[in-house]
Structure 1
Amino acid sequence: MNTRTSHAQVVNELGRAIIAGDYPVGTTLPGDVELAARFKVSRTVLREAMKTLAAKGLVVPRARIGTRVTPNTQWNLFDSDILTWYFAVGVNEEFLLHLSEVRLGFEPHAAALAARHASEADISQMMRLAVAMGDPDHSAESLAVADLKFHLSVLEASRNPFLRTLGSLIEAALVGAFKLSSPAADRGKISDVAASHIRIVEEIDRRDEDGARRAMENVIRVGRERVVQSLREGK
């Protein structure tokens, strides 16, 4: 295993364990010697992994004390790895509602900006991506990828560099949500999903900023309701 792969493995396993509560807030992680032996990595790789976890806000090193797990209020929830770990260990309805509120805070505005700034080439690309979502042969994974490409294209068309940097949050949110509940299992739902995304592009093409905003809000809310319903049925 090369150094980069080893580093990623340590970060992934420790990060996921922290999110899962295996190492509760305020506790100190095992020492370097123990962790290096557990993961079969050098102490150099381990230290770099700890720096990565610290940059994500999950841990803080303390001299002569060790590396301590920080309160979750300090965790960077915009970090795509952290969101992925949350979905991996299991999310609840409250978490999904919070996440959708964040998306509702910026994606509808991105759609409105796209209605103002998108070029004809942008609009053609968004329409191709929206139509492609209607392929009845989509698997849950391929539909999630198609959905992600569409939403990233809207961010790109907004011409706002700050909004474009939020793509990793959308990626983690969509991939995680589709793992919990995907419309790909129902061809009728696939058609509905495609139609709702096509509506966004139509509003952008009309240069209707309010219409684009409302169409995007509808897509996010419908997706949230689908996943929440799946969670409730699974209880």
Structure 2
Amino acid sequence: MMNGAAAHSSHSQVVDALGKAIVSGEFAVGATLPGDAELEARFGVSRTVLREAMKTLAAKGLIVPRARIGTRVMPKAEWNLFDGDILTWHFAVGVDDGFLIHLSDIRLGFEPHAAALAARHAVEADINQMMLLAVAMGDPDHTPESLALADLRFHLAVMEASRNPFMRTIGSLIEAALAGVFKLSSPAADRGKIGDVAASHMRIVEEIRRRDEDGARRAMENVIRVGRGRMMGALGAPEA
């Protein structure tokens, strides 16, 4: 999502194209997808490749095959929004402020507690690594893209240091949220703000080093809320 790497295999290209078409509404919820022959011709792939792509989309909750009816697009409530591909497709076709707010709400539900767990479980090597990543965020030569990647590495390191395997599985969600925030408004556009971003992340590490779970929780919450405020300002929407 961050580096914009393109899919190269026939299977991944079909999954990507159909996934975007479904998320964009080209194939609406409840609609039946075109038949195999039409889709094979559309993408220039074999039936085997098409069926494997359909299995992938079904596993993500986007579609369900029905005997004698065809393949139907599932309601959005069935989609796995924690899936990295689905999140990427949402950003590719365009998201509204409501979608981004929901993302930041989920981050507020997970990441502050992950920081508190890191304060409890992180070893010295974890803490040193997080501090290095926080310091790296202060590089004045950052572009919006490189700062977003630096930010992502830091937040994933905190999730890892939490020692909770469930926390580690939501990396795609964090990546999507950060990609959305930085796409709309990056601190790298204002060199004076880069140091503030690094300092706020260093504060998280300092609280973790002190084993202050409440302090780590508050510091992480502050970082997410600041990013959310920047995003809402770029959208011209009032902070919820």
TM-score (normalised: structure 2) = 0.93
Whether 1:139 and 2:155 are equivalent positions in the alignment is: no
1:10 is matched with which residue: 5, 9, 14? 14
Name 2:108's counterpart in structure 1: 104
Matches within 5 A, 1:61-210: 61-210=65-214
**What secondary structure, in the 3-state scheme, does the structure 1 residue paired with 2:71 have?**
strand
| Separation (CA, whole Å) in 2 of partners of 1:175 and 1:93 | 14
Q: Percent sequence identity over matched residues?
A: 77
Whether 1:217 and 2:221 are equivalent positions in the alignment is: yes
| Separation (CA, whole Å) in 2 of partners of 1:74 and 1:104 | 23
Single out whichever of 160-169 and 39-48 deviates more from structure 2: 160-169
Q: Deviations over 1:34-85 (max 9, x none)?
A: 1111111111101011111111111111111111111101111111111111
Residue type of the partner of 1:116?
R
Displacement of 1:4: 6.7
Q: Which 5+ residue runs of structure 1 have no aligned equivalent?
A: none
Name 2:44's counterpart in structure 1: 40
Moved segments of 4+, more than 3 Å: none
Q: Which 5+ residue runs of structure 2 have no aligned equivalent?
A: 1-6
User: For this pair of structures, how many residues does the alignment match?
Assistant: 231
| Separation (CA, whole Å) in 2 of partners of 1:95 and 1:4 | 29
**What secondary structure, in the 3-state scheme, does the structure 1 residue paired with 2:65 have?**
strand
Residue type of the partner of 2:141?
D
Aligned-residue CA RMSD in angstroms? 1.3
Flag the structure with higher helix content.
Answer: 1
| Separation (CA, whole Å) in 1 of partners of 2:76 and 2:179 | 22
Displacement of 1:175: 2.0
Single out whichever of 102-111 and 184-193 deviates more from structure 2: 184-193
TM-score (normalised: structure 1) = 0.95
Displacement of 1:6: 0.7
